[in-house]
Amino acid sequence: MSAPVMSDDRVAMAGPQTGAGASANNGPQLRDTEFEFLRQFVYQQCGIALSEQKRQLVQGRLLRRLRALRLRDFADYCELLRRDPDAELGELASAISTNVTSFFREMHHYDLLVNELLPAWLAAKKASGERLRIWSAGCSTGEEPYALAMVLAEAMERSNSTVDAKILATDLSPQALEQARRGVYAHDRLGGVSDERRKRWFLRGQGEYDGLVSVHPRLRELVSILPLNLLHDWPMQGPFDAIFCRNVVIYFDKPTKEKLFTRYARLLPVGGYLFLGHSESMHGLSNDFDLIGRTVYRKRA
């Protein structure tokens, strides 16, 4: 999410949509009333608007949750959500979402950090004694915050800085957060990482762990990973020097985006930065930011 990102990729397709009842071949069917309840629930809790075209995707993905929870049908699942929304929300978000991420995705953002922002921030923080904070909002399985940690650690070494610097990484999906906390990835997931950084920041698995890598302990020190629903209350007070919310808001509707950008602005100082994904824009949605580069926004005075 990342916050939940709806995609038709890798969909476990259910059988023909009947709209009611159950099928011996395909399992319980998602009826009209149940799908409408799920649409409203997901919109209210996650800010994602499910279209009718997503019906088979939702049915196919949630059949797995029915089996895991030993529920008879979607009516029982909807009743579970009514009784205790928070208990199942993360699992629901994981089930209907596809977390697409990678190390150093949209490299121009990291170039800006390395060449301009981090040197300036570290110098200013060192002089003032203030702390440096970056938020990865919708961190998915952890590639983004660990990539941020790499460039931050390298910048601190170059400047010989002892600044209090941390990266907050949040997401709604329990499965994504669990992998982020483990910090273990298949070696072929390192496509965006230079050879130098692979050698410096990853530990190669051996024996039964051959083909896997683990992030360096130094990166773990810099990253705090926590569950968070962007639509609910936020415990952190800020300020953050930068917020990365990339490929998260594209599936939100306009009112939800406007509210989210307003909340981000409150946690950024004047001159603070907000990074969006390559297909996202703040045009017509906020008066708090100026566009200064490709999907890079700076908070106005």
Element (H, E) at 149: helix 143-159
Instruction: Look at strands 132-137 and 242-245 and give their pairing.
Output: parallel
CB atoms within 10 A of CB 100: 14
Contact 28, 63 (CB under 8 A): yes
SS3 48: strand
Q: Which residue has the tokens 């969909």?
A: 11
Residues listed for the chain: 301
SS3 291: strand
User: Tokens for 195?
Assistant: 């050879």
- Rounded CA-CA distance 168/222 in Å is 9
| Strand segments (E) across 65-199 | 132-137, 165-171, 184-186
SS3 226: strand
Alpha helices in the chain (DSSP H): 32-46, 55-69, 74-83, 85-95, 107-112, 118-128, 143-159, 174-182, 195-201, 217-222, 254-267
Give me the amino acid identity at 159. Answer: S
Catalytic residue list: 61, 171
Whether the bond into 269 is cis, omega within 30 of 0: no
